[in-house]
Every structure is written in structure tokens, then in C-alpha cells.
Structure 1
Amino acid sequence: MSRPGRTRSPRRMVIVGGDAAGMSAASQARRLCPPEELEIVAFERGDHTSYSACGIPYWVAGDVTDRDELVARSPQEHRERGIDVRTRTEVTALDVQGSRVRTREGGSGREEWTGYDELVLATGARPIRPPLPGIDAEGVHAVQTLGDGERLLADLAALDRRRADERPRAVVVGAGYIGVEMAEALLRHGYRVTLVDRAEEPMTTLDPDMGAHVREALNRLEVATALGSAVTGLETDAEGRVRAVTTETDRHEAELVVLGMGVRPLTDLARDAGLPLGDSGGVLTDLAMRVRGHDNIWAAGDCVEVLDRITGAHRHIPLGTHANKQGQVVGRNIGGDYATFPGVVGTAVSKVCELEIGRTGLLEAQARAAGLRWVTVTVEATSRAGYYPGAAPMRVKLLAERRTGRLLGVQIVGREGAGKRVDIAAVALTAGMTVEQMTMLDLGYAPPFSPVWDPVLVAARKAVSAVREAG
């Protein structure tokens, strides 16, 4: 007779954060492990899971008409797939020695401890919100979560109902990706928009000479730019609503203010638990996304620092593309498979009205900080054959290592067809190509899509000459 086997409890995977990284990890682990082998519990302090924060400016602008279009999978849909999602529940402490987390329910305030075998930190990032006078006034909005978007749209609707015939004024603080996208969204709502930033040019993810072209395009779109002066405070009216933004040099009236000053890793829990953090405050992991020095703790998404494949340093680059990939890596590893996240080259695209902006690799300041020597070239080209209808101007800037000709970075500013061309350079950077090797890339050609020599390859050809001239 065979003896009955001993019942074994499943391992428990606890996830802190229910957006891209956390729920990608949960979904991937569930594909590999059934519930009887792996229990998955995800704590999310908000109401929503698996949504696109990157899409919020387009929802505000009206390109996306319904909030739920931004939600890839609801909490209930995750539960139906065997993932215990607990919304409105905040993790307030980590006990690394005891392998448990403390949680607090938002409604009841009840606190309890939950043990884990595997812990995944996917806490994301928090918007930068400096302690300025008036920063918490009515009418001042961030755009980090779906709730932020709902509050902004409700405020826009309320202002629209009571405004006079004249165009209302809005100020966007911060001229990065979110700032320029929100400037367009507010233009679409009929606002006179002023974009304020302490930098001399918008888009500090570009070199200043390329940022200048973004500024010129914004001005042509009637977005006023107030640059080179830091915000000092926000004025309010007698009812506590924002009425103006003040800087070191000026004052800008506003019925509405949007903050787009960037984000920082949300790593308070990790720091308090003594987990290793990098220079930017992000959690440090190995290539498998395991937190350094901790076999059963993992981290992914906007709360981590990632390996820069060009310089070998670690950087904080908060993007949904990275978060989803890192979450899948974590889920595969916890589920018994094996995967690594090899790092990034720093690719990003954005748009404001018809202007497209793309970058990948290093800026000049980053190349200098890494101790590299480089040459730089800039070319003017068109998105299609010059004779084909709709051909639009495009500016491409390329950095190459001075001695080897290795590609270091590319920035593109132009009209339709400009932004995604940066992907050519992203692949070349990942492959470690030289600019001379790039000139022979077999890219698709037809007059409606490109000139005979694609603008990126024109820049590569010019860079080959610059490298040779530099010796």
C-alpha cells in the first residue's frame, strides 16, 4: 500500500504596488505556477491596477475618451486569474528579517502582518512637489495616477462652466515630457498656456541646442515659454484657489496649474528596511531584478535604478516599457524559469501637437560625465523624399566616440515620422555599432516613407567624416 503524501503549503509571493511592474510579475508567475504551488497577493493603495499613466495627457486632451481605455486589466480581472489583489490597502512597513509586510486598509484602518516567501517591490515613483507656498492650493494638479486625471478633468469642466468668453490661463510647471504633453492637452481645452522651467531650454532630456528647436516650435503653437527662472511660489485668492505662479523674475496669472517637474523613486519602504539604494534613491538590483544581498526580495519598475548599457553606470529612467519588461523578468524567476534584464540605452519619444521628439543614448553632458571623448554632427533632412507630398523637415543630432566611431547617442526633432526613427539608433546602440557600420544598414525605402538616404543614416555618414577628421 502506498502511504498518502504530506500536504504542502504553496509558496507565497507578495507584491507591493499593482501597476505595470507588479502586475506583470504577478501575471508571468501565475502562467508558470498554478495556485496550489504559488499563492500571489498584490497590495495596491489606490483603486486601479495595470493602467497606462503615460496615456493620461492624451485622456485629458480628449484623444482617449474613456478612463477605462487606459486600464489593461482591472483588479477583478486579475482575481479571476488567480491573483489576490487587495486595493485601497497600503503597505506601511517591511520586516525583512521576519519575511513579512505590514498593511493598513484604507477604509477601516485595520493593520495586519502578512508573511511572504518572495517579496516584489513595485512601488513606482512619486511626482516632485517642492514645499513652495501655495503648492497644495485648489487648482494645482499632478498627473501621476488615474485619480489625478479624474480630478484635473473635473476641474477643467467646472472652470469651463463658469468662465467668461475670454480664454482662461494655465501654467505648466516643468518643461519635460509630461510638461509639453500637458501643454498640448490644455491648448486643446482652449487655454492660454505658459510653460515654466528653471532650465534655459525645454526638454532637458535633449541637448540645449535641440531643446531650442522644441522651444521655437512651442512658441509657434502659441505656448508661451518662461525659461531660465525657478518657481518661487503660487499665489492664491481669498477662497484658496491658485491665481498665479511666481518665479525669480516674473509672475504668471493662472486659473489652473499642472505640475510636471519629474519624479523620484518611491523607496521609503526600502530605505527604512535597509535595502540598498543608488545615487538617485532607486533600489539596486542584479540583472535578474533581485535586490542586492537578498535572495527572496525583488524590485522592478520606477522604483529601481537600471544599468546604462553605454556607460555601465546605474540611472533612474522611469518608463512603462522598462517596468513591464522588468516585471516579466521577476515573474519568470519566481515562477521557476530564468530571465535577466540587460539594461537600457535611454530611448524615449514624445510629441506636442505636430512636433515629434525622440532621443536615445547619451547627451553631451552625460558623455562628458562618463569621461568620454566624442564628436557631434547635426543634419537637416526631410521625413520623405523631398518631391513627395507631405515631406516635413527633421533635425537629427548624433554623437559618436572620437577614436572608435562607436555610436553614443541620437536626438531627433521634427514632424510626422521623426519620433520613431530614433528606434534605428536604439537598435544600433544596443548592438554596439559604429557610425560607419550604421551607414550600411539595410533600411526600407520608398518615397512616401523616406528619402533614399534616411535622415539617421545621413547623420551617420557625416559622423564618419567627423571621426576621421578628428583622427
Structure 2
Amino acid sequence: MSKGKLVVVGGDAAGMSAASKVRREQPDREIVVFERGNHTSYAACGMPYFIAGQVSDSDQLIARKPAVFREKQNIDVRTRHEVINIDVDSKKVEVRNIKEDSTFWESYDELLIATGASPIRPDFEGIDSDGIFGLSTLQTGIDVFKYIEKHSPKKAVIVGGGYIGIEMAEALLDLDMEVTLFDMAPQVMTTMDKDMADLIAEYMRESGVNLFLNEKLDSFEAKNGTVTSVLTDQREVEAELVILGMGVKPNAALTDGTPIETGVKGAIKVDKKLQTSVPGIWAAGDCAESYHLIKKEKTWIALGTVANKHGLVAGINLSGGDLEFPGVCGTAITKFKDLEISRTGLSEKELEESGIKYKTAMIESRTRSGYYPGSDKINVKLIAEENNGKILGGQIVGFAGSAKRIDTIVTAITAGMTAQNIVDLDLSYAPPFSPVWDPVQTAARRLV
């Protein structure tokens, strides 16, 4: 049964997944979506590949445009409209029409906050200079593409060695730029253990990236308002283009001054049904908390997979269903050129912080039978609980055919399997796909 008018704040993965599910279940319900940007339902993860020219048109990254939602699904999507205030007592949101620079109040019966996350952009000197970009929305990706097209930069600096930093390093190398990457941490990919991250760093340097770790960003220098160099605590590097990949933070400022509670890392606090602390108000996607399946506690993980699943669960519950979001393991995958990278579960650092005793195994194997053409290296690290052998985490770094094996590991974690259970799995085998002992099973054998 419909609970009246639904207002959704945010028109990307979580917001539109929820709105679409509600529409399928409740064809006559009034649904209004406010999106402060120009686009809805886009693949932000595809931006580095669009910038590199591997995706020929930004429209290819859009799953469904606002007009389609309006005309085919009768969802009132209003782009360039930013919700700036929530009055929970009167059940209204204050909306700014960005194009007209005017504001108005919109009523709701139920409200879903799906405002996503934003790049961390510290207040360094010169950070607002032209040529410095953070990637979050599709529009920011388009802005980078147009800037490169117009200015043809030859020297690029990336600040941060996480997913965005690594993917953009590949993209800018493909565009024949000299690429320098800084990170204040002693390794790239801090969600992984250093022994695995070092394999990535070595390959990046071999591929031509000037990689500097353990260096803190100090400031940016500019001439006539355009960036010219990046300064760290150890050096100065020329820059005609700068990409900030320093992480993201949840867009939860909309809850300020309301009874809506925030939790881990400032994300909006939700229960497993994605309800906030205020009845009738829900939150989903990168702005909201999740539940960690291994730690058994609230966490915050900004990933497109999580956002889409959040949206589906919220949509089911908003349309009268009763479903809980089961939780996350932090599974993620990326690549740098030919090197595939993936991880799931907890790292050694996280386990030490959690006080869980563990054991590890790290092996080097082959992606296919060694004699088969195209066989290449794969490194697998498995982490298991010390006492019972239950799998707690896994990391993979290797070449073609490596990274998606992480799905076997996260399935094992979700099912509560042990290293022996993985060894016993009846996995498929043929020389073009795997050695007779799959590398994941080879790692598991070291733990039993």
C-alpha cells in the first residue's frame, strides 16, 4: 500500500534504483527526485576510461536519462535542483533551483536521502586553481575530458594512490602524459596489505609512473589562476593537470540541524532496513552506513555495488516490503594497465585493530596451466582466523584472469567457510582457465 508522496534526494545509483523499484511496485504513487547535477543513473566508475578515450561518448556511461524516467516511468526527476534543508516536523524539504537561483518548499510523506559522497578537498594553498580536479560526478569527468581536449597538458600529477589515483594514472599515461603520483602513505592502495601493494607500486614504476610515497602535499603553485606545480614536503613537480584522489566523504550535511543521526565517519546512521533515526526518512548509497559482515558492526564503504543494493533494499521497503540489507565485506576490484587488483574482507591492519588473531598465506602461481599460451603470474593472499581457519580476507594481484577470482573468496567469507572448505571445493579446471589447483585453493592449502 502506498504511503503517499515519495521525495528522493539524489538521482544516481541508490536514489534511482529505489525510485524505480517503488514505481514498479506502486504504479500510481507520486515520486519526485531532486538531483543537483545534470545527469541521473550514470556509471561514475567509467570516468577514467572515458577520459582515456576508451569510451567514445559520455552518454555511454548514462544508464537512463532524466527524460526517460519522466516519460517512461512517470518519475518526476528534476535536475539542477539541490535540496538544502529538511523540516522534519512539517515534512518538507527546501529546494534550490540552481538554474533560476530561486528556492521553494516541497512536501513529502516519505523521504529518501541518497546524496552520495564527495572527493576530499583539503584547504591547501592554490587548490582552487584551474587545472585541479576531483572526480565524483559524471560532470567532473566531462570537465576533465574537456580540459585535456582544450589545453593538451603534458605533465600530470595525481595526489592519492587509491582506486581513482591508480585508474587515472593509467588513463593519463594512455594519453601520453608524464604522470607523477604522490601519496602520504608508505604504500598505494591502503585497503590492501603492504606486501601486496608493493607489487602494484613496482609495476606502476616499471610502466612509467613517477611514484613518490611517504610524501605529504604542501601546496599548489599557479600562474594567472592556472596550476603550474605541486609542492610536497620533499619536492616540487611541474603540473599542467592535477587529479585529486585523496578519498571521499559522505554527503551528510543535509542532516545538520535535524534529528537525523549520523554515525561512522559522518555517514547517515541507518538500520538494516535503511531507515534513519527519524520515522519516514530513509538513507541509501554512499551517504549512508552499512553493516560489516566480519566485524559485526557498522561501517562506511563508498562503492557503486553497495549503492545499487542499498537502493534496491530501500525501494522494496518504501513500497511496502520488508527486507534487510545483509551487509558488506568491502569487495573491490580495479586494474592498472595489464595488472589486475582485487580485495575483500579484512586486511592484516584491520584485523590487528579488531584484536582478531589470524594467520596468512601468500602464494605466486599462474593464471592458466603453465604450458598454455597466455599463462601469467598471479599473487594470492588469504587471511584466516587462527583458531578455526575461517576465511577473513583475501587479496589478489596478477595479470589477465586474476582479479575476478576474488569472488570465490568473498563467497567463502559470506558462507562462513574455512580454508579447508575452499580446498575441498569442486572448482572447474581446464588449461586455458586455470592450473589443476586454482591459485585460490593453492593459497588455502597453505592455511590448513
Question: How do residues 29-48 of structure 1 correspond to structure 2 at under 5 angstroms?
Answer: 29-35=22-28, 38-48=29-39
What is the CA–CA distance in structure 2 between the aligned matches of 1:267 and 1:279, rounded to whole Å?
11
Read off the aligned partner of 1:201 and give its amino acid letter: Q
Supply the distance in 2 between the matched residues of 1:154 and 1:279 (Cα, whole angstroms).
36
Q: Which residue of 1 aligns with 2:331?
A: 347
Match of 1:304 among 264, 288, 291: 288
1:195 is aligned, of 166, 176, 181, to 181
Instruction: Name the SS for the 2:37 alignment partner.
Output: coil
Aligned match for 1:429, one of 401, 404, 413? 413
| Structure 1 residue 10 displacement after superposition | 7.3
User: Quick one: which amino acid aligns to residue 90 of structure 2?
Assistant: G
When structure 1 is superposed on structure 2, of 188-197 and 143-152 the one drifting more is 143-152
Which residue, 288, 299, 321 being the options, matches 2:273?
A: 288
| Corresponding residue number in structure 1 for 2:16 | 23
Whether 1:64 and 2:49 are equivalent positions in the alignment is: no
Note if contact 2:343-2:406 (Cα within 8 Å) is conserved in structure 1.
yes
User: Superposed, which structure 2 residues align to 1:49-448 within 5 Å?
Assistant: 49-80=40-71, 81-160=73-152, 168-237=154-223, 239-291=224-276, 293-448=277-432
Q: Do 1:271 and 1:277's aligned partners in 2 also have CA atoms closer than 8 Å?
A: no
Normalised by the size of structure 2, how large is the TM-score?
0.98
Name the SS for the 1:244 alignment partner. Answer: strand
Contact 2:3–2:109, Cα closer than 8 Å, also in 1: no
Q: Which amino acid aligns with 2:30?
A: E
- Give the TM-score normalised by the residue count of structure 1: 0.93
Task: Name the CA shift for 1:9/1:357 in 2 (closer, same or farther; >3 Å).
Answer: closer
> In the TM superposition, what whole-angstrom CA distance separates every residue of 1:302-350 from its partner, at most 9, and x where no partner exists?
0011111001122211111111111111111111122221001110000
The amino acid of 2:196's aligned partner reads M
Counterpart amino acid of residue 417 in structure 1? G
Which amino acid is 1:265 matched to? P
Listed as ranges, the gaps of 5+ residues in structure 1 are 1-7, 465-471
Rg: which structure is higher?
A: 1
- Show CA shifts across 1:374-395 (max 9, x none): 0111100010001111111011
Q: CA deviation at 1:159?
A: 2.1
Asked if the contact 2:362–2:379 (Cα under 8 Å) also holds between the matched residues in 1, the reply is: yes
Are the aligned partners of 2:264 and 2:300 in contact in 1 as well (CA < 8 Å)?
A: no
Tell me the distance in 2 between the aligned counterparts of 1:92 and 1:107.
15
Q: Answer whether contact 2:158 2:181 (CA < 8 A) is retained.
A: yes
Q: Percent identity?
A: 47
> C-alpha separation between the residues in 1 aligned to 2:390 and 2:2?
53
How many residue pairs get matched? 447
2:173 match: secondary structure? helix
Q: What SS does structure 1 have at the residue aligned with 2:413?
A: helix
CA distance in 1, matches of 2:284, 2:10: 10
> Could you say what the CA RMSD is over the residues aligned between the two structures, in angstroms?
1.2
Q: For structure 1, which segment, 23-32 or 272-281, has the greater mean C-alpha deviation from structure 2 after superposition?
A: 272-281
Q: How far has the Cα of 1:279 moved from its partner?
A: 2.8
| Residue type of the alignment partner of 2:70 | R
Q: Deviations over 1:25-67 (max 9, x none)?
A: 00000000022xx210000011110001111011111111110
Name the CA distance, whole Å, in 1 between partners of 2:352 and 2:163: 24
Shift of 1:294: 2.3
Q: What SS does the aligned partner of 1:442 have?
A: coil
Query: What amino acid is the match of 2:319?
Result: G
Q: Structure 1: how far apart are the matches of 2:140 and 2:384?
A: 41
